Amino acid sequence: MKQSLQLKLGQQLTMTPQLQQAIRLLQLSTLDLQQEIQEALESNPMLEMTEGEDQSGSDGDSKDSGEANSEGANTTEATAAENTSDDNNTETASDSNDDWQDNIPDDLPVDTNWDDIYQGSGPSSSGSVGPERDDSYFDSQIDNSETLQEHLLWQLNLTPMSDQDRSIAMNIIDAVAPSGLLTSTIEEIYLGLIGQSSPSEAETTEADKEDALSADSETFEDGDTATEAETVVSSATDLDDEDSLSIEEVLAVQHRLQLFDPIGSCSEDLGQCLLVQLNQFPADTPALNSAKLVVREHLAQLGNRDYKQIMRRGRMKEPELKQAILLIQQLTPHPGELIGSSETTYIVPDVFVSKKDDRWSVELNPEIAPKIRINNSYANLVKRADSSDDNTFLRDNLQEARWFLKSLQSRNETLLKVASCIVDKQRGFLDHGPEAMKPLVLHDIAEDVGMHESTISRVTTQKYMHTPQGIFELKYFFSSHVSTDGGGECSSTAIRAIIKKLVAAEDPKKPLSDSKITNLLSDQGIQVARRTIAKYRESLGIAASNERKRLV
């Protein structure tokens, strides 16, 4: 093979570290970006915060540390001086309060800011009142991390009970799911307590369980308390051995646990949970017996909205069934959801959209990321001709800091450019709501801003826009289109909004079917298949027409 020289022309994209960093920052969410900035501040000494409060706080900390070092040899005298100055501080605080109230004018202009009138440090801003608390302190105070099992065990510790019953109760509580229902049957819990698993014994315990359940149901229907039901169950069976454990004892402990807060916990199924809650109503409650009958015998028909069969089998009329259903709707099918940790998730918008002088303006949220800059004191230490290790370390960190700031600026510019283009194309949505949403794809925005579709996809992922219609992810404004009779296009988001509006205005006794919704949209000039309507309806969380049927 003969060697030769050839000249070729070509283009290729080189992913430099700077470009990789810019792409990575572009696709980060607000929380991830704040964490990335914090890590950069901790690792790079050339970066610093630009907020005045942090700088003053750091200066104050350095002064306090210097004073602490100078007074460390004479702590006794410092403590005595602090104690003697308490009275003086109290008098000074009272004098400052009087001055603070006297400096406030009686009449303030309409457009006056509080900071323009009052610049002093009031009682709430002084450090002597109490330690400064950030938002995380209040979040920790309202955070409820108690689980359902912990809540039940707390009540169990306050309930007088024998050691054997307490052991049974702890085993039952261990089998409680977060919803409040048991993950195991009472028979399985009983067999686990006695350590038996033979088929003959299981059949015997099943018969005992049915007898105990029948006796308990009659007792609970008469409105007896859990203690009386336990006495009736225990008296129904004579035990030869006082130390032996029977399934009736397990059932009695379960009935006591079902009366714990929340009512109905530790139940085996939904019907038993609802019956326990119905037993807590007064005996003169309207339609109470009908509600118990529906829950006990016709719960499946109630779930299928088969009201005619319920009225026929239960021998009740429509007004009576309406009252029974209203009473059942007041119950809690999953009582465990009332207890447990519920962390509130807050969405911080990246972009604010507002209307000013009949024009929509777009601006970035200035609070989404800390403001950072290059520390001039450290940057001035870099020497050009010096090749020492220390100078090289400072020069490399200075270059990385400049790249990082440039990547942040590029991210903000790209986000603002894409958000402005989206607002320009979705003005109808901002003025009239989701029904006026226009079809939009990534390619349309990419052509207008002169970027690739992958870049637009990164910008619109996990980025949120605050509009007069609410807070939406930027991905929400992109949707496919459906052709209309007039030759135009209708957005799938607009079709979902129309379906939601039609379902909200329908007659509960005669809900709209998918075919009927298709005909209604066809009358408006929107041609959509019935299967597409079903798909959009399911995506909105709307049940089928037979499940939306209501009697009341």
Handedness of CA 69, 74, 77, 79 (dihedral sign): positive
Least confident of 137-141, 346-350, 397-401, 489-493: 137-141
Mean pLDDT (whole number) for 411-435: 92
- What pLDDT score was predicted for residue 70? 42
- Cis geometry, peptide bond prior to residue 160 (ω within 30 degrees of 0): no
* Eight-state DSSP code of residue 325: H
- Kindly tell me if the per-residue pLDDT of 377 is higher than 60: yes
Q: Is the model more confident about 76 or about 144?
A: 144
Contact 247, 240 (CB under 8 A): no
- What pLDDT score was predicted for residue 524? 87
Per-residue pLDDT tens digits for 35-47 = 999 999 999 999 9
Contact 251, 209 (CB under 8 A): yes
Contact 47, 401 (CB under 8 A): yes
- What pLDDT score was predicted for residue 1? 67
pLDDT > 70: percent of the chain: 72
List all residues 6 or more positions away from 441 whose beta carbon is below 8 Å from its beta carbon: 478, 480
State how far Cα 439 lies from the chain centre: 30
Q: For 454-512, give the DSSP string.
A: HHHHHHHTT-EEEETTEEEEGGGG-B-EEEBTTS-EEEHHHHHHHHHHHHHTSBTTBPP
List all residues 6 or more positions away from 66 whose beta carbon is below 8 Å from its beta carbon: none
What structural domains and CATH numbers belong to the chain? 19-52+348-478 (no CATH), 148-338 (no CATH), 479-552 (1.10.10.60)
Q: How far is CA 419 from CA 281, 352, 454, 458, in A?
A: 56, 9, 16, 13
- What pLDDT score was predicted for residue 257? 96
Which of 325, 229, 209 lies closest to 276 in space, CA to CA? 229
Mean pLDDT (whole number) for 403-428: 93
* CA–CA separation, 283 and 265 (whole Å): 22
Confidence of residue 23 (pLDDT cuts 50, 70, 90): confident
Mean pLDDT (whole number) for 499-523: 90
* CA–CA separation, 456 and 414 (whole Å): 9
Tokens of 244: 């032996």
The structure tokens 């038993």 sit at 272
List all residues 6 or more positions away from 525 whose beta carbon is below 8 Å from its beta carbon: 484, 485, 486
In 219-344, beta strands by DSSP E? none
Contact 463, 25 (CB under 8 A): no
Per-residue pLDDT tens digits for 465-485 = 999 999 999 999 998 878 777
63-72, 193-202, 440-449: which is most confident: 440-449
Backbone conformation region of residue 501, classed left if phi is above 0, alpha if psi is from -120 to 50, else beta: alpha
Tokens of 263: 């009512």
* CA–CA separation, 214 and 208 (whole Å): 10
- What pLDDT score was predicted for residue 361? 92
Contact 552, 514 (CB under 8 A): no
Tokens of 397: 């960190």
Confidence of residue 341 (pLDDT cuts 50, 70, 90): low
Q: What is the mean pLDDT of the chain?
A: 78
Least confident of 13-17, 249-253, 376-380, 478-482: 13-17
Mean pLDDT (whole number) for 510-527: 90
Element (H, E) at 473: strand 470-473
- What pLDDT score was predicted for residue 247? 92
CA neighbours within 13 Å on the CB side: how many for 193?
26
- Kindly tell me if the per-residue pLDDT of 63 is higher than 50: no
470-473, strands of its sheet edge to edge: 359-364, 351-356, 464-467, 470-473
* CA–CA separation, 551 and 507 (whole Å): 11
pTM: 0.61
Least confident of 1-15, 222-236, 293-307, 514-528: 222-236
* Eight-state DSSP code of residue 197: -
* CA–CA separation, 120 and 98 (whole Å): 12
Tokens of 441: 């794809």
Least confident of 85-89, 225-229, 532-536: 225-229
pLDDT > 90: percent of the chain: 47
List all residues 6 or more positions away from 503 whose beta carbon is below 8 Å from its beta carbon: 511, 512, 517, 537, 542, 548
Per-residue pLDDT tens digits for 204-241 = 445 554 555 454 544 444 444 444 444 433 433 333 34
List all residues 6 or more positions away from 540 whose beta carbon is below 8 Å from its beta carbon: 496, 499, 500
List all residues 6 or more positions away from 204 whose beta carbon is below 8 Å from its beta carbon: none
What crossing angle do the helices spanning 199-221 and 186-194 adopt, rounded to 10°?
Answer: 130
